[in-house]
Amino acid sequence: MKIQLLLITTFYLISGPVYCLDVTGFPGGHVIIDFKHKINLRSPAIFCKLNPENQCERIIEARGTEWIRDGHQGRFTLISTDRSLTLIIRTLRVQDTGLYQVGDQIVWNQDINLKLNRDPCCSEMKSVAGSLGQNVMISCSYPEEFKINTKSFYKQNNRSLTEIIRTSGAEQHQDSRFSISDDVRNKVFSVNINDVREDDGGVYFCAVVTDETEIISHSLFTKIYLQITAMASSHGNLEENLMCSICIDIFRDPVVLPCSHSFCRECLERNWTSKLVKECPNCRTTIKGTLVKNLALKGACDCFIMEKRRRTSAQNQGVFCDVHSLKHELFCTDDQKLVCLKCVTEEHKKHNFCTIEKAADEHKNKLQKPLQELESKLQSLNSKRSSFSTAATKLQLQGQQTEAQIKAEFVKICEFLREEENARLSALRSEQNTKRQRIIEKIAEVNISETSISERIKSIQDDMGRDESLFLHVSILSAVYTRVLFRRKQRVEITVPDTKLVSDSGIDMAKHMGNLRYMVWEKMKPICSYYPVILDPYTKTPNLEVSSDLTSVSCTGLALQNSLPKIISSCYILGSGGFSSGVHTWQVEVGGCEMWALGVVTESAKKKKNLSDCLANVYYINSKYSWNPVAPKIMKVCVFLDMTKRCVIFSDPDTNVTIKTCIYVSDEKLYPCFFPLSKIPMKILPSR
């Protein structure tokens, strides 16, 4: 059982807007929020949780007394007084996370965001044993986020929590028997209890403190059960006296301080790493100077360890009597224990005995049956482990093969797209070059015409310069001038190149870009076929071989059977997924198969692996068709499944002739089934 404690936060109520406070806790823990700032609430204090609709669902309310709302097993407590408001949430659960509000909904409200933290260091539950009058050291690891925080130690009394001691601050326990130290480097703090008393037993919690301007938060994160017992024996008392109060173990390299307290050198140095002043962990005496070895204590510890090892070795061997330290000689059948000769005359007087060898044989015989059962279970586990290892190897191989197939398919798609891209770019460049050549030719024609016109302009200008006297000669003006103008007009009428090509000289964007993706997708259809049914390789019998694309299957070996059900049950595979509703159609190529069968089976038949009784089927076995022994040979079979009308129709898609119609009444999920009874594969055909 693991119990974890949640962040406990203390607020001071303030007027005006209040920010949302984040409270971090741990599953199974508690939350205590104490509002100490005095405020006059106009109505009872309310604690509520915001739901997804942003409505606050009331949990508890209180004014001047304690109220616990039914239905929460007493986990929520709200206490209101004139000077404070205290909220307690016990046994934190995952569903407790979320946004809360506390206040009177009028004068003051505080938003609280409650979160969970699953840090492994905070999931501990410790049990510590101590003896009356001795010292007890309790150590707690804390999360990284609390390294710089003040550390605290609590004791639980019924439903209340009382702070015992903290590493800093005004609130210190008056009992000087308690001391606390913090090893920041290793994120561990320890509490030492001197002169343990009976009432020191109980439940404690380790905690960290965050002290801000008006907010004090306490995070309780480890639960400790302290059990106090009386010293059992002188040997136990000696062991207690030889224990370091820091590590709670036998002294290793003990050193003695001026105050006469002794500790392990390593424990003491680690304890001092986080302190500014070196002091005794027990009595807080300031220590100066170097550490002095406690040679006498070291010798006593070494002797104790050797004696303990000797006793442990003898006890483990079962040779000596625990009471008289004499060698065991007989076995008491009444008390079922080994005894020495002194035990025979004292504690076990008038009991029945037998030799140790005989008793051992009897007990060994009793263990034979459970031993065999355990060996059988071990063998079974080894067999299962071997099966799992084989499955893991097969899984890895399948993963590699499937990955290679996926890559190969994408290579084909990429090659097609590259070829299509090159073809379309080639068509674009061809159009561009053709129209560019036409434009170049027209430019050449324009240049020729431009040269001719320029020459004629110059000729006309020269003629006009030489014939000015004609304008003064009236008699010949009309005839000569008219003839000259006519000749000049003929010279001006020069053929101008056709400019219609210029307006049609651009790239045909609609031709190249119109529905480009759709056109490419249309051309991809031959290599991107859709199959309405995919074979499930995990349902095939061992004698079948399935293609890599899971659309065809063949039989590698068929044992001779004397009945149709046995033939069908020995060689089959199902389609994956199955159908629960709707209308479905698939075609199967069977023309080359020597024998075949196909149909539909129910989910219950699939689970029982009893496919001899199909819901609907047709077959071709021993050169005879199931629906008509003399029917002409067919190449394909179309299966039409209408789950609304509960019918299965088999037909020849080449002739569109119905072969067989089956009506069923089952409400189960249906699966296509295939029985390839020859080496020539049955193939599922792609949809058109």
List pLDDT tens digits, range 109-140. Answer: 788 888 887 777 766 677 787 878 888 888 88
Whether 585 has a pLDDT exceeding 90, the answer reads yes
**One CATH from 2.40.40.20, 3.40.1180.10, 3.30.1330.40, 2.60.120.920 for 537-685:** 2.60.120.920
The more confident residue out of 86 and 332 is 332
Q: How many CB atoms lie within 10 A of CB 570?
A: 20
Pick from 122-126, 176-180, 568-572 the range whose average pLDDT is largest: 176-180
In b/e form, how buried is each residue of 530-557, taking b as 16+ CB within 10 angstroms? ebebebbbebbeeebebeeebbbbbbee
- In this prediction, residues 262-274 reach a mean pLDDT of 88
User: What is the rounded distance in angstroms from the CA atom of residue 2 to the CA atom of residue 21?
Assistant: 27
Whether 489 has a pLDDT exceeding 60, the answer reads no
Q: Which of 16-30, 366-380, 491-505 has the lowest mean pLDDT?
A: 491-505
232 pLDDT band, cuts 50/70/90, is very low
Whether 170 has a pLDDT exceeding 60, the answer reads no
Predicted local distance difference test score (pLDDT) of residue 503:
60
Report the chain's mean pLDDT, rounded to a whole number. 80
Whether 84 has a pLDDT exceeding 80, the answer reads no
Whether 227 has a pLDDT exceeding 60, the answer reads yes
**Full-model pTM:** 0.42
Calculate what percentage of the chain has a pLDDT beyond 90: 15
Q: Which of 202, 205, 208, 201 is nearest to 223 (CA)?
A: 205
Q: Which of 12, 197, 44 is nearest to 110 (CA)?
A: 12
Token pair recorded at residue 329: 């000689």
588 in Cβ contact with 685 (< 8 Å): yes
Whether 260 has a pLDDT exceeding 70, the answer reads yes
493 in Cβ contact with 485 (< 8 Å): no
223 pLDDT band, cuts 50/70/90, is confident
Whether 71 has a pLDDT exceeding 60, the answer reads no
Whether 461 has a pLDDT exceeding 70, the answer reads yes
Pick from 153-167, 258-272, 641-655 the range whose average pLDDT is largest: 641-655
Residue with tokens 């040997």: 235
Predicted local distance difference test score (pLDDT) of residue 636:
93
The more confident residue out of 487 and 297 is 297
User: What is the rounded distance in angstroms from the CA atom of residue 240 to the CA atom of residue 411?
Assistant: 76
Domain coordinates of the chain in residue numbers? 7-118, 231-314, 318-351, 387-503, 537-685
Whether 607 has a pLDDT exceeding 70, the answer reads yes
User: What is the rounded distance in angstroms from the CA atom of residue 499 to the CA atom of residue 441?
Assistant: 12
User: What is the rounded distance in angstroms from the CA atom of residue 547 to the CA atom of residue 535?
Assistant: 9
Whether 588 has a pLDDT exceeding 60, the answer reads yes
CATH superfamily placement of domain 231-314:
Zinc/RING finger domain, C3HC4 (zinc finger) (3.30.40.10)
18 pLDDT band, cuts 50/70/90, is low
Q: Which of 129, 125, 137 is nearest to 29 (CA)?
A: 125
Token pair recorded at residue 671: 């699966």
Predicted local distance difference test score (pLDDT) of residue 47:
86
- In this prediction, residues 572-582 reach a mean pLDDT of 91
Token pair recorded at residue 623: 């050169």
Predicted local distance difference test score (pLDDT) of residue 7:
39
Summarize pLDDT for 195-221 with one digit per residue, the tens: 888 888 888 888 888 776 666 778 778
Pick from 2-6, 268-272, 522-526 the range whose average pLDDT is largest: 268-272
Q: In 3-state terms, what secondary structure has residue 88? A: strand
Q: What is the DSSP letter of 340?
A: -
- In this prediction, residues 317-330 reach a mean pLDDT of 74
- In this prediction, residues 326-350 reach a mean pLDDT of 86
Whether 16 has a pLDDT exceeding 50, the answer reads no
Predicted local distance difference test score (pLDDT) of residue 150:
87
531 in Cβ contact with 517 (< 8 Å): no
- In this prediction, residues 255-264 reach a mean pLDDT of 87
- In this prediction, residues 634-640 reach a mean pLDDT of 93
Predicted local distance difference test score (pLDDT) of residue 670:
93
5 pLDDT band, cuts 50/70/90, is very low
Pick from 235-239, 271-275, 662-666 the range whose average pLDDT is largest: 662-666
For the domain made up of 7-118, the CATH class stated in words is mainly beta
- In this prediction, residues 228-249 reach a mean pLDDT of 70
- In this prediction, residues 74-88 reach a mean pLDDT of 76
The fold for domain 318-351 equals Double Stranded RNA Binding Domain (3.30.160)
Q: Which of 10-24, 39-53, 382-396 has the lowest mean pLDDT?
A: 10-24
Pick from 205-209, 217-221, 599-603, 606-610 the range whose average pLDDT is largest: 599-603
4 pLDDT band, cuts 50/70/90, is very low
Predicted local distance difference test score (pLDDT) of residue 206:
86
Predicted local distance difference test score (pLDDT) of residue 623:
83
Using CB atoms within 10 Å of the CB of residue 324, give its burial: 0 to 12 exposed, 13 to 18 middle, 19+ buried: middle
Whether 496 has a pLDDT exceeding 70, the answer reads no
What is the dihedral sign for C-alpha 496, 501, 503, 506? Answer: negative
